[in-house]
Amino acid sequence: MNILVTGGTGLIGRKLCPALLKAGHQVTVLSRRPQAVATLCGNAVRAIASLDEWSPAQHFDAVINLAGEPIVDAHWTPQRKQRLWASRVTLTEQLVARIAAAQQKPVLLLSGSAIGYYGDCGARRLDESAASGSDFGAQLCAAWEAAAQGAAAFGVSVCLLRTGLVLSRDGGLLNKMRLPFSLGLGARLGDGRQWMSWIHVDDYIAIVLHLLAANANVGGAVNMTAPEPVTNAEFTATLARVLHRPAIFFAPAALLKLALGERAILLLGGQRVLPARAEAMGFGFAHRTLDDALRCELTFGK
């Protein structure tokens, strides 16, 4: 297949593009840094700097939309919220407009979303049929998904990738947590009862390849999470155990709310998400437990 990937230089994209090439696909990456694409994604990957470079005569069999600025890295000022919205919703709307203009439409759009779509749901088990939440993150995801669904009007099968916490030694959450936990400074967040739904990056990539192989026979939401979510307290204890360090501290909820403001819901809220559709499609997870996933990433080569 000839595939366009947005957000290809991000944590997931850097792993996905080589996997797509290995599977025999042709890959084009949309990036604000096209000069870095070959280094980050593979020499055989073509780079474009703007969707305007997608001419109506050019055909992509599938589009994988992973673009979006990190949501937790800066305060949610009105300006920051606008940037988060533009990097997800507005870009997806522009992508759908290019699909509409294409003389031959893609068969499949795999479009990023997040389990933040569900909002803070406590301990309730969530599959893809669960309703959306009401906080800013949930509203952002719902609008992001609605923008992607616009491609369905042009006969494109749209699959929404509701992504959990992606575990990889190369960046993301695990990269932020590794140093303090390695120093014995790991801490539970609040009461630690909030659920964390995670996925090993290799399983994420494998699900994407599985969906591409299904071609037009997929559509709707797919929870990109492992089958065994854990509470924050369990995550903290497991990570500390894998690194052979204690984790005796905790970060009070009041302090996190003071420091992070509205963003604190990303750490103190949670979703207990189950990958019902992936398992119904026969996908077999290589890393079903957190202990296995963390050991794979943090003890590699030792």
73 belongs to a structural domain: yes
Whether residue 301 is predicted with pLDDT greater than 80 in this model: the reply is: no
11 belongs to a structural domain: yes
Region 124-145: mean pLDDT is 97
Helix residue spans in the chain (DSSP H)? 11-22, 34-41, 78-85, 91-101, 136-149, 172-182, 201-214, 232-242, 253-260, 265-268, 276-280, 290-298
Specify the number of domains making up the chain.
Answer: 1
22 belongs to a structural domain: yes
185 belongs to a structural domain: no
44 belongs to a structural domain: yes
Domain that holds residue 16: 2-167+197-226+271-284
The pLDDT assigned to 302 comes to 42
72 belongs to a structural domain: yes
For 87-118, give one letter per residue: b (16+ CB within 10 A) or e: bbbebbbbbbebbeebeebbbbbbbbbbbbbb
- pTM, entire model: 0.96
The pLDDT assigned to 214 comes to 86
Q: pLDDT, tens digit, for every residue of 7-40?
A: 999 999 999 999 999 999 999 999 989 999 999 9
Q: pLDDT, tens digit, for every residue of 183-213?
A: 999 999 999 999 999 999 999 999 999 999 9
Region 280-289: mean pLDDT is 95
Percentage of the chain lying above the pLDDT 90 cut: 96
How far apart CA 202 and CA 246 sit, in angstroms, is 28
Q: pLDDT, tens digit, for every residue of 96-106?
A: 999 999 999 99
189 belongs to a structural domain: no
The pLDDT assigned to 300 comes to 57
264 belongs to a structural domain: no
Tokens found for residue 105: 């439409």
- CATH number of the domain at 107, please: 3.40.50.720
